[in-house]
Chains A and B, each alone.
Chain A
Amino acid sequence: MAQPIRILTAVPICDGHDSAINTINLEFIRHGIEVVYLGYHRPVGDIVRAAIQEDVRAIGISSYNGGHIEFFAEVVDLLRKKGADDIKVFGGGGGTITHDDAKIMRRKGVDEIFFAGTSLEDMVKFVHRRYSKPRGRRVKPKSADQELAHKLTGIEDAKAKIRSSQSAIRNSKVIGFTGPGGAGKTTLIDELVLRFLNKDQQSRVAILSHDPSVIGEGALLGDRATMINSQNDRVFMRSMATRGQAGGLSPATKDCLALLARSGFDYVIIETVGTGQEAMPFQKNGIVEQTVLVMNPDYGSRLQLQKIVMLDLADIVVVNKSDLQRAKTAHTEIEQRLEQNRRKQRLLDTVAKRHRDPGVDRLFDLISGNAKRAKERRKK
């Protein structure tokens, strides 16, 4: 069976008009398209970097604030410069893009511009018609990231297999993040990334993030839109849809992770989709070295805690949103629950949405192995 088409959508820099693209995204995913959504107010560099890392077939840009001729052209040019002109560009802007503009834009390499009044159906048809044919021979990658992205696509489309002998090789620290939906995993990871980047000016981080596939087999892969710090040349991020697999990961996760883990990143972070109580996405003896369970203080009754399997397995448990009223009770209850396990599990409180949150600093110290600093911070 053919794999879903992957595209990336975004709204240009200095433009906050996201209402049209939100509607279009939903229509795409209902029709079997996987959409990596980058959000609004995004610069050319972020769009092109994301498109290459995600190895999408095309970029859809929704522009309502003018300057579209230059902006679209800059995207096309940068793709070309990066050796990624197999990634196509299309878009629209209601009445703000005139027919004359569109002519210029097409001449500059844009595939298609949709005008006001184009039906959602026509847009979906266009994407299917234009971008569903299997890609032929891939162009020779111009960068390591591009090569990696191509390989990941190969794995995801089940064209390539990691030899089992290779899966053990690892030169990165691999950390797994899981937890219920809405606990703040994505924000927390993004805040950690900021600290990784600031700590060591050379280090590189890879993120493998997951979102569920919906009925109709499409998926909205939206983590990049909130991960503002992770849109950086030193971060390689790949968004995957679960494509029908339960448990919070995708059928290709293991092989993709194995590849990332031996690709020279200092840290590889894997984030599951929001999980339920029974989910146990990271197995012992797997590639993941350290597991973090991110909890929301509002998990319900104390009894609920007994049922969460990951509480037995996680190395670090984080109560995020610890500014909420219920957080203190949650901390105490989870602490008692962890004591039953008699493992040296760590319990931390964070407020990931807060800039420079000391709780996130402590988590960073734990993960980055700076035990001494972590201890000092604990004393404070």
Chain B
Amino acid sequence: MSKLGSVVESVERYNEFVVDQVKRARTDEKFGRDLLGRWNDIKAKIATTSTPTGIPLPRLALPEIDEPGEIARYLFGEGLPGEFPYLNGAYREMYLEPLREVESLERNGGPSRTGGKGEKKALSAAEEPTRLFSGLMLAEDTNERFHFLTAHQRTHRLSTAFDGPTLYGIDSDADGVFGKIGEGGVAIDTIEDMVRLYDGFDLGSANFSASMTISGPAPIIMAMYIAAAKRRFGPSVVPKLRGTIQADIFKEVQAQNETIFPIEPSLRFLTDMVEFTTREMPRWYPISISGYHIGEAGSTPVQQAAYTLSNGFAYAEMFAARGIPVDQFGPRLSFFLDCGLDVEYIALARISRRIWAIGMRDVFGAGPKAQLYKLHTQTSGRSLIAAEFKNNLTRTAAELMLAYMNATNSCHSNSADEPFTTPSEEWIRLAAHGQAILLEESGIFKHTMNMLSGSPGMKAVEHAVEAAILNEFREIERLGGVLAAVEERYQRSQIQNAAHKYEQQIYDGTRPIIALNKYRNGSDDVPEVKLVRTPRKKQQLQVDRLAKFKKKNAEKSKRALDKLAAVVESGKNCFPALLDAVEVCSLGQITGQLQEVVGRFRPMV
């Protein structure tokens, strides 16, 4: 049995445990009395806040129960926000406005702004509500953009998109990629580009973090980032580096198709990197376990949650097998989910958080910090359509509501114009404002935790979703675990099948899409847009710079590549050799060398 089978058992056991506790609370008088006492203590400690119109509200809302059995069901089955099994939130106060008179004791290590409240900064002044994903043209252009975006911000949280060649680990001088240089993201070929990319930012500062959305060549790009930081700030900067790299191989193979090495060596390179970062860079998140692309590729919400969780458990199993302590890597894992409009999204992340916590605690022996399912959510791009595209504002707003009801730690809202263009300033701004309106302007989330948690409907969805996720786990386990199922293309075909059904439902009208298959006004006109494209001159500059780099390092790179190959063959952790190699080799040279040794990824069709 793989660990996933044990996870299923642990959740079943935990659910039985909850039922037992409910019974015990009703039959064992002392136990019941203690629970009631604890419940009253909790209630007594809840601070009161006042709304702008002056009515008092509790900072934490609890169900109106006073019967020990029901108290047991709530405390053990759901947990208070910030308490096992974390159904109601990974942290105690999440989006609440800081309360001046209450000294908060907890500090959290959340990856993002909404988890943080320990330092008592007003939300609006401390960290701005959006992560703006950007990357365009060459490193210096993206750098300029980063400076523009963060000009008035105290914290600099940069989210980096890479261009196609970089995502596939090839150089800008490769055959047929010229037109793709700097398109859809920034072109990175060498450490020199990496230095340019974050120029002017203090990489070691607590107010800076870099997020890099790249998976196939992630270990190489990670090495480039570290080497670039060392070039600028010296070796002492390494333990201070903060940020996230996506590095999710399973979802690439299942959904996104940006895999460059065969699966097993890809996982080995990933583990090499994770071993290095957990030891040397305690503030770094070396993997973002992503359901977003699975959802966007057409999966059902349950498939998305189930594959993301099972991928997570498979990574945990792998890292543990390498000998990395679970309490060391556990807190450095983070998750990324899609949030669409299907009803499952009311509780998808809540249940994911619960299953993760139980599995990590009971199967992997993880301590509290390693039990947290820390989540970044993005609203669904697939749910947006071009026809009467302004409706997309409503769609995204509803999805944001769902994301916050699930107590996501951070969020990205899509721009309404995404179905037909690269988002423009105007619509990006509206998307960002959507978050601020919900969190800061409206009173829904800022006064009281649990404002919308635990409705009868939500509970019904939770139970249905949990059961369905466990069923997916059982199926994957039956196939021999995540890796075996991936190699059999199980998740891939399930996702493709779901995507096909979704399209079919739109076609036959059983899935209403307003202004597309219902309430159509007949005009499908979208504004004709002018896209900003990378000028040829810039693309040529990138190619020329790369040629210069390669020429300059011709001899050194050969030696570094030979050394890298030898280390990879030896089976030892190759990350230190990557760190050396990126000093003198380009991304494409390193990818090529690694492919020589371990082979290329054979696409699954």
Contacts and interface: CB of A to CB of B under 8 A. Distances in A.
A217 interface: no
Contact of A226 (B529, B531, B605): B605
A356 interface: yes
Interface in B549-605: 598-600, 602-605
B389 to A, nearest CB: 10
B180 A43 contact: no
Interface stretch (B117-125, B140-148, B341-349, B495-503): B495-503
Interface stretch (B40-48, B53-61, B168-176): B168-176
Contact of B164 (A22, A23, A65): A65
A71 B179 contact: yes
B282 interface: no
Interface in B179-211: 179-181, 183-184
A18 B257 contact: yes
A353 B262 contact: yes
Contacts of A14: 163-165, 167-168, 170, 177, 180
Contacts of A327: none
A99 B531 CA distance: 11
A81 B449 CA distance: 67
B77 to A, nearest CB: 39
B440 interface: no
Contact of B419 (A39, A43, A98, A116): A116
A13 interface: yes
Interface in B490-521: 496, 499-500, 503
A117 to B, nearest CB: 6
B524 interface: yes
A267 interface: no
Contacts of A19: 297-298, 496, 499
Given A14-B165, A117-B524, A355-B598, A41 B179 contact: no
A355 B176 contact: no
Contact of A65 (B183, B419, B531): B183
Interface string A218-235: 000010011010000000
Given A19-B499, A40-B257, A45 B603 contact: no
B399 interface: no
Interface string B217-251: 00000000000000000000000000000000000
B426 interface: no
Given A16-B258, A22-B496, A67 B164 contact: yes
Contact of B184 (A43, A66, A225): A66
Tell me which of A16, A40, A68, A98 has the highest count of chain B C-beta atoms within 10 A of its own C-beta: A16
B420 interface: yes
A71 B599 CA distance: 27
A224 B199 CA distance: 44
A69 B603 contact: no
Interface in A34-55: 37, 39-41, 43-45
A273 to B, nearest CB: 16
Nearest to B604: A226
A15 interface: yes
Contact of A66 (B164, B257, B419): B164
Nearest to A13: B176
B542 to A, nearest CB: 13
B179 A228 contact: no
Given A43-B175, A67-B179, A116-B386, A355 B262 contact: yes
A95 interface: yes
A218 B120 CA distance: 66
Interface residues of A, number: 40
B297 to A, nearest CB: 6
Contact of B603 (A13, A17, A39): A39
Given A66-B180, A71-B179, A98 B531 contact: yes
A290 interface: no
A95 B503 contact: no
A112 interface: no
Interface in A92-114: 95, 98-100
B605 A70 contact: no
Contacts of A147: none
A153 interface: no
Contacts of A116: 386, 419-420
Contacts of A66: 164, 179-180, 183-184, 533
A22 B257 CA distance: 13
Given A23-B500, A116-B386, A353-B602, A95 B421 contact: yes
A15 B164 contact: yes
A335 interface: no
B500 A37 contact: no
A377 to B, nearest CB: 19
A116 B384 CA distance: 13
A298 to B, nearest CB: 12
A67 B180 contact: yes
B598 A69 contact: no
Nearest to B169: A14
Contacts of B174: 13, 43
Contacts of A95: 386, 419-421, 526
Contacts of B276: none
B39 interface: no
A205 to B, nearest CB: 18
Nearest to B386: A116
B540 interface: no
Contacts of A39: 603, 605
B178 interface: yes
A74 interface: yes
B605 A222 contact: yes
Interface string A54-93: 0000000000011111110010000000000000000000
A345 interface: no
B496 A228 contact: no
A275 interface: no
B386 A23 contact: no
Contact of B176 (A23, A37, A40, A45): A45
A19, A43, A190, most chain B CB atoms within 10 A: A19
B64 interface: no
A40 B183 CA distance: 17
A220 to B, nearest CB: 9
Contacts of A355: 262, 265, 598-599
Given A13-B180, A40-B603, A98-B529, 14 more contacts: A13-B176, A14-B164, A15-B164, A41-B168, A41-B257, A43-B174, A43-B175, A67-B177, A67-B179, A67-B181, A71-B179, A95-B419, A226-B605, A355-B599
24 contacts: A14-B165, A14-B168, A14-B170, A16-B257, A23-B500, A23-B503, A39-B603, A65-B180, A66-B183, A66-B184, A66-B533, A67-B177, A67-B178, A71-B179, A95-B526, A98-B529, A98-B531, A99-B528, A116-B386, A222-B605, A226-B604, A226-B605, A228-B603, A355-B598
5 closest Cβ contacts across the A-B interface?
A70-B179, A14-B164, A16-B257, A355-B599, A67-B179
